Chain A
């Protein structure tokens, strides 16, 4: 299979989050089951900047991590039969390295390390101005697949 691009509207087929919680603008390159890369352009109009913080607007770390997890989701939900499936976070380990501020292009690179029985382990990096802003190892799941493998109680 070849990689492909998802526009802002095409992305919506594979990523169930919506405004104001969709943290991706475009997926520039996705190879289903392997990787997804794209970006979010940040303007002063982002809903969180007025509160976080009035004197020094910057993108909350939790939302940076969310952006990485959403992009990793796209790498999974673009696989056959998984379009539009809901994913849940299981476990994330993240490191923040610099502030992400209005005017930045937040580039998001994610890679699938393993995908098995509804559980995906992956890693992601957020980049602004050519420098790493955050990086994470993530565990996400498609619950409706995972639940098929759990003992009944």
Chain B
């Protein structure tokens, strides 16, 4: 499984959404599932998937499906 597929699955499983929902418009609080609890679930899923530990600033900056790709790059995870 590619990193992109793993990245997508973290969103799909954390928010229980379909692959079609993964787009530039997917942002924090843009859907009911991506609330404060959903955000922590997503971060935990990504940390487990890629075996990383994200810093507080990066968790705060992880505000959308798109920006998250750049955030993971800082941890050596190439999703693009």
Contacts and interface: CB of A to CB of B under 8 A. Distances in A.
Interface string B32-50: 0000110110011000000
Interface in B24-80: 28-29, 36-37, 39-40, 43-44, 56, 59-63
B60 A153 contact: no
B40 A151 contact: no
A99 interface: no
Nearest to B58: A149
Interface residues of B, number: 14
Interface in A89-119: 90-91, 116-117, 119
A146 interface: yes
A140 B43 CA distance: 17
A139 B38 CA distance: 12
Nearest to B62: A151
Contacts of B36: 141, 146-147, 150
A149 B55 CA distance: 9
Contacts of B60: 148-152
B63 A151 contact: yes
6 contacts: A119-B37, A148-B56, A149-B39, A150-B28, A151-B60, A152-B60
Interface of B: 28-29, 36-37, 39-40, 43-44, 56, 59-63
